[in-house]
Structure 1
Amino acid sequence: MKKDWNSSQEFCSAERSHLLVISDAQEKLPWLTAEHYWIGLRKSTDSDWSWGNGLGLNNITVTSNSPVQHCGVLKNGILQASSCEVLFQWICEKSPE
């Protein structure tokens, strides 16, 4: 199943979780290879990327090739920007209780 970024975030929220947040570059998930996966990364109107929990990127680079790409995906362990309306799989994670 694939969804756009907003629908993916809503799915995670309904499961009492949120889209994946990567706290540092070492945490990237290399086992996610051929597919794109939505993660909790979004570009705000002031052109700054941040995680759904409000934290900044901490020296993590996002690859983007278009000014209309405002949502983050993970592919081959690399953070990439995408249009938020594209349909991808997603990764939810639960916050520690």
Structure 2
Amino acid sequence: MADEDREERKVSSNCDKQGNCDWAHQELISSGPSGMTNADKGGPRFSKRSVISGAIILMTLLIVAIGFIIFQAVKLSHCQVTPGPSDESSCSQDWVKTATAAYFFSTEEGDWNSSQNYCTSCSGSLVTIDNQQEMDFIMRKRGLAEYWLGLWREKLQQPWKTPNGSPFNNWYTIEGGGLCAYLNDQVVSSTWCSNNRYWICKKVLHGT
């Protein structure tokens, strides 16, 4: 009873003569001897600062993830080599025909392997130039550009081979210290296969 009387006196001391009381104070007193207010009993609360900090962390992680994805995509695109179109429609265009073969003189550059792959996709191969007559024909058509030829070797000082692995008959000299042959302005030379050159495809015409 003494506690209840003390609580009532505290409440009444905050009421004016017209009977208007300070209910916020009354709520604090009625919380009981534990000292906890009704607001404290509602469970844990998070401050605005904590919420903002969490949002900033999430946004930072998201930006880093997006940046990594973009970096990988760009890196992958740089690793891909596409010397030219390889669909069937491109294979039927701009081929120069003779009585026994057809030749394609590229207008784009690529390394030796990608150039050979393009020729293969068009049922041909990089030209090897089999005789002087074919050499004269190609020299007239090639202009001033340098073109890959279908000759390669595994190591320096080893014999030259055609794309299918057959040995070259060495009827002309290949200069330079590379592993893949190309035709320049005057002679056949060699360089690293990873360098870029134009290329010449050849496919034999059957039934002519």
Q: TM class, shorter-chain normalised? A: 0.7 to 0.9
Q: Which residue of 1 aligns with 2:147?
A: 37
> Against the structure 1 CA distance between its residues 93 and 14, is the aligned structure 2 distance closer, same or farther, given a 3 Å change threshold?
same
Q: 1:47 aligns with which of 144, 158, 173?
A: 158
Query: Which one has the bigger strand percentage?
Result: 1
Aligned positions of 1:1-97 closer than 5 A: 1-28=108-135, 29-31=138-140, 32-45=142-155, 47-53=158-164, 54-64=166-176, 66=177, 69-97=178-206
- Residue identity matched to 2:201: C
Which secondary structure state, in structure 1, belongs to the residue aligned with residue 152 of structure 2?
strand
CA root-mean-square deviation: 1.8
| 1:76 to partner: Cα distance | 2.2
Aligned length: 94
Which secondary structure state, in structure 2, belongs to the residue aligned with residue 60 of structure 1?
coil
- Residue identity matched to 1:61: T
> Against the structure 1 CA distance between its residues 88 and 22, is the aligned structure 2 distance closer, same or farther, given a 3 Å change threshold?
same
| 1:57 to partner: Cα distance | 2.9
Contact 1:25 1:60 in 2 (8 A): no
Which secondary structure state, in structure 1, belongs to the residue aligned with residue 115 of structure 2?
helix
CA distance in 2, matches of 1:77, 1:52: 23
For the pair shown, the structure with the greater C-alpha radius of gyration is 2
> Against the structure 1 CA distance between its residues 57 and 79, is the aligned structure 2 distance closer, same or farther, given a 3 Å change threshold?
farther
Structure 1: give runs of 5+ residues left out of the alignment: none
Alignment TM-score, normalising by the size of structure 1: 0.83
Q: Which structure exhibits the higher relative contact order, with contacts defined as CA atoms closer than 8 Å and separated by 6 or more residues?
A: 1
Runs of 4+ in 1 over 6 A off after TM superposition: none
Alignment TM-score, normalising by the size of structure 2: 0.41
Q: Which residue of 1 aligns with 2:101?
A: none
| 1:43 to partner: Cα distance | 1.5
| 1:55 to partner: Cα distance | 3.8
- Residue identity matched to 1:50: K
Query: Which one has the bigger helix percentage?
Result: 2
